[in-house]
Each structure stands twice: as structure tokens, then as C-alpha cells.
Amino acid sequence: MQQNAYDAIVVADQGRLSRNTGHFGTIKEILANYGVLVVTETKTYDYNRADDDLVSDFESVISKQEYMAIKRRLIRGRIQSVKSGNWAFGRPPFGYERNYKTKETRKKRLRASY
């Protein structure tokens, strides 16, 4: 960007630039200093304009809250799945096998390979 090689950045959604509001402020400041626009499906943001700057701040806060709500729902779903007896952790660790019909995890017999 220091060579002014970019006029705009195209993203699916402004919230994809950063979920952290502190980092987003830094990114926004850099883009404004170099006059780089952010182009999304619905809007083109020019952070040198006061109204675009304000709208982007609101959208950033809403995006962060949405991310936190999704994260809470995913964690709650995983906990509920474990309470129901399901394996919710991907592949079992080395040395264990999972029987998905009986929902049991047990140690495997390992052969010495030397």
C-alpha cells in the first residue's frame, strides 16, 4: 500500500476485515491514510468520509456481537451433544477407537513395531 498500488479492496463483508474492533480501527486508519476504498456487495466505503466512517463503526460493533452469539451457540451445541453421549471432538486420540453405533470410546490394542 505504501506504493499506492491499490485503489480498493474487495471483500464479501466489511466484518471480514477483522472481528476485533481495535484491529479494525487500525486497518481503517491505514486504508483512510492511503485513500483505499473497501468494496462490498452492498456498499463502497471511503473511510475519509464521515458518514462512511460512522456506518462502518456501527457495522463493526454489530458484526462482533453476531460473532460472539454464534460462538456461544456453537459451544452450547457441543456441550449438549456431549451430554447426549455423542463424540464431539473429531477423531479419537491415538491409541483409542470410537464405536459410533454404541457410542463408546475404548483403548485399542497396539502392536510393538520394532
Q: Are 13 and 64 in contact (CB under 8 A)?
A: no
The percent of residues in the chain predicted with pLDDT above 90, rounded, is: 43
87 pLDDT above the threshold of 80: no
Higher pLDDT, residue 76 or 114:
76
Percent of the chain with pLDDT over 70: 93
Q: What is the pLDDT of residues 29-58, one digit of tens each?
A: 999 999 999 999 999 999 999 999 999 989
Give the pLDDT band (50/70/90) at residue 13.
confident
The answer, yes or no, to whether residue 65 has pLDDT greater than 70, is yes
CA dist 107 to 60, 72, 82, 83, 84, Å? 47, 32, 19, 21, 21
Residue whose entry in the numeric block shows the C-alpha cell 466484518: 15
Which residue would you say has higher pLDDT here, 22 or 77?
Answer: 77
Q: Do strands 37-39 and 8-10 pair parallel, antiparallel, or not at all (unpaired)? A: parallel
